[in-house]
Amino acid sequence: MLLATASTTAHATASGSSGSGAYVALGDSYAAGAGIPAQSAGLCMRSDHDYGHLVAESLAPGTYRDVTCAGAKVSALTTAQTDAGAVVNGPQLDAVTPDTTLVTLTVAGDNLGTSDFGFGDVAATCSALSVTDPLGTPCRDSYKNTLTERLDSAAAQLDSALRLIHAHAPQARVLVVGYPAVLPDSPEQCLGKMPVTPGDIAFLRSVLGELNDTVATTARAEDATYVDTLTPTLGHDSCSSSPWIEGLLPASPALPLHPNAMGERVMANAVLDALGG
């Protein structure tokens, strides 16, 4: 059961986040609950158990529009997302209209990768490189500063997108939802569970922290609320004995290194807590 109290729902209604207004969910595969049944929207892999659906069930908005899509980079907010030349998803900001009173958004992680799944793509590269230097940091050595450069570019795009959201829906409360604890603080916990060197586990963990910090700073600069999902998922990372984020070989329906159904539920709780705070 969602940990939504009566006071949370009351606050959301009073702040114009539910009732007769529209709630729009934007974002990437973490927002879409990619891989979690039941799936819809084709290559977008949108789940009816993503955190947006769970928040909408609690708030009962007048209208709920979910345009999240796996593989969405920040640019997918303003331009159509395509695959092999075919349109997968229209510009997500098209769903944000003057009647919108609540927007949630998780995006920027896919800007790290060269393929559809961003951070997971980086982790897969780290796994492949681990055999070249099992005791070193071959992944960090390969990427050098390029991930930081990609984040800087994504932050500038996110800043512009948040301004557009406010322009499209001046009455909307905008929540930018961060990324959960994909990896543990202690790299040793991943020994035998993830084929990445301990040094590169630490590198990936630092990249995730930089990603969340960048998203949080950008959100706050544009009058949006940042929702921390890393803290409530600590101890349930992909290398834990009770994961809410799946590993490179998922044991529950979800994409590799993405939240499973419980992970999406915890992210929904964090959004509801932010609305009630």
Q: How far apart are the first and last CA of the chain?
A: 20
Q: What is the pLDDT of residue 114?
A: 60
Share of the chain above pLDDT 70, in %: 91
Whether pLDDT at 207 is above 70: yes
- Which numeric CATH code is attached to 6-276? 3.40.50.1110
Pick 117 or 45 by higher pLDDT.
45
State the Cα–Cα distance between residues 178 and 159, nearest whole angstrom. Answer: 15
Q: What is the pLDDT of residue 118?
A: 67
Nearest to 131 by CA among 206, 200, 182: 200
State the Cα–Cα distance between residues 61 and 23, nearest whole angstrom. Answer: 6
Whether pLDDT at 14 is above 60: no
Residue with tokens 């997918």: 76
| Residue 29 annotated in active site | yes
Nearest to 68 by CA among 21, 110, 29: 29
Beta strands in the chain (DSSP E): 22-27, 39-40, 46-47, 63-66, 81-83, 86-89, 100-106, 173-177, 225-227
State the Cα–Cα distance between residues 183 and 234, nearest whole angstrom. Answer: 9
Beta strands in 128-172 (DSSP E): none
Q: What is the mean pLDDT of residues 133-161?
A: 92
Q: Considering the entire predicted model, what is its pTM? A: 0.90
Q: What is the mean pLDDT of residues 254-269?
A: 97
CB burial of 136-166 (b: ≥16 within 10 Å; e: otherwise) equals ebbbbeebeeebeebbeebbebbeebbeebb
Q: Which of 29, 47, 130, 238 is catalytic?
A: 29
For residue 228, the Cα-to-chain-centroid distance in whole angstroms is: 11
| Structure tokens, 86 | 């075919």
For residue 16, the Cα-to-chain-centroid distance in whole angstroms is: 24
The domain locations on the chain are 6-276
Q: What is the pLDDT of residue 169?
A: 98
State the Cα–Cα distance between residues 117 and 40, nearest whole angstrom. Answer: 18
Give tens-digit pLDDT for 170-183: 999 999 999 999 99
For residue 126, the Cα-to-chain-centroid distance in whole angstroms is: 21
- Residue 181 preceded by cis peptide, ω within 30: no
Assess contact for 276 and 59: CB atoms under 8 A: no
Tell me the residue length of the chain.
277
CB count within 10 Å of CB 20 equals: 11
Count Cα neighbours of 212 within 13 Å in the Cβ-side half-sphere: 17
Whether pLDDT at 269 is above 70: yes
State the Cα–Cα distance between residues 11 and 14, nearest whole angstrom. Answer: 5
Q: Which of 49, 53, 236, 258 is catalytic?
A: 258
| Residue 258 annotated in active site | yes
Q: Which residues have C-beta within 8 Å of that of residue 197, sequence separation ≥ 6?
A: 126, 130, 133, 134, 135, 136, 137, 138, 139
